Amino acid sequence: MSLVTGLYVVLFYAATILLLVGLALRIKKYATTPAPLKIPTTPAPVTKSGVVWRMVREVVFFESLFKSNKWIWLFGYLFHLGMLVVLLRHLRYFTDPVWFWVNLIQPFGKYASFAMLIGLLGLWARRFLVDRVRYISSPSDHVMLALLVGICVSGMSMTFVAHTDIVQVKAFFLGLMRFSPQPLPTDPLLLIHLGLVAALMIVFPISKLLHAPGVFFSPTRNQVDNPREQRHLAPWAAKLESGE
Ligand code: HEM
């Protein structure tokens, strides 16, 4: 095994463990954080199925963002939708045989990368051009955007400018999944792409990108608006009340 392959084997195993364990711990923390008050953003659904539907609209259409800011919604939506199609297209590197619908979306995935890039650049431009937003932007806001732009541009360079050996890339990742490492192609664009992806996996559980799982735990979105019909009692408060 070459030095580069060895380095990337270790890097991807470490990044995967950090991502999975880090995410699990974060989600556990979110799930066990008390929500002592009824604070759904009104007008809010008054039934559980209404809340599920609200959540679906939030996740699929970014509804509350749409209501609050059309520009951020437009760029945010372009980026996320583009990334979704790109990532689904990537499933071909991790599945053998490749599922038929992953084959079907290959051409779309290729061009979805433009939507992803335009969205990211729009969101980034906002952090420089809008005074209020520039003032509250922290270095980590810029770093996360830079990381995603770097991944997108290095990926697109492979797709549209200088191809890598995708058959060997797939052999490498299937090898990792089967615990039998195979050689990784060593062209710089691929090494940059994968290095940045590993960095993203490592920082994900301690970054603002946690809004992805976090949205499901947001009390302003996931609560039923029924404070008169039913007394709201957080589990820890119930324990206190019962004298436990
Ligand atoms: C271990 C995970 C990943 C591997 C093995 C991988 C590999 C690749 C390869 C080989 C290409 C070039 C495809 C071609 O020449 O046709 C590519 C393109 C691309 N990658 Fe990745 N990538 C990974 C993760 C990601 C992630 C997490 C993102 C986004 C956040 C991303 C975004 C892109 C984009 C935008 C392109 C260009 C469009 C396309 O061909 O789909 N990649 N990737």
Find the 5 Cα to ligand 1 centroid distance in Å: 18
Ligand 1 pocket residues where CB is under 6 Å: 83, 86, 89-90, 93, 109-110, 113, 116, 148, 151-152, 155-156, 158-159, 163-164, 166, 169, 173, 193, 197
pLDDT of residue 175: 97
pLDDT digits (tens, 9 = 90+) for 9-63: 999 999 999 999 999 999 999 999 888 889 999 999 999 999 999 999 999 999 9
Give percent of the chain above pLDDT 90: 89
pLDDT of residue 35: 85
**Res. 239: pLDDT tops 90:** no
**Res. 236: pLDDT tops 80:** no
Ligand 1, residue 166: give the atom nearest the CA. 10
pLDDT band at 241 (very low <50, low <70, confident <90, very high): confident
Calpha distance 120→152 (Å, rounded): 9
Contacts of 212 (CB under 8 A, 6+ apart): none
Residue 57 in tokens: 């609209």
Ligand 1, residue 89: give the atom nearest the CA. 41
pLDDT digits (tens, 9 = 90+) for 107-145: 999 999 999 999 999 999 999 999 999 999 999 999 999
Residue nearest to atom 20 of ligand 1 (CA): 155
Considering the entire predicted model, what is its pTM?
Answer: 0.93
pLDDT of residue 168: 97
One-character DSSP codes across 139-184: HHHHHHHHHHHHHHHHHHHHHHTS---HHHHHHHHHHHHTT---PP
More confident residue, 242 or 201: 201
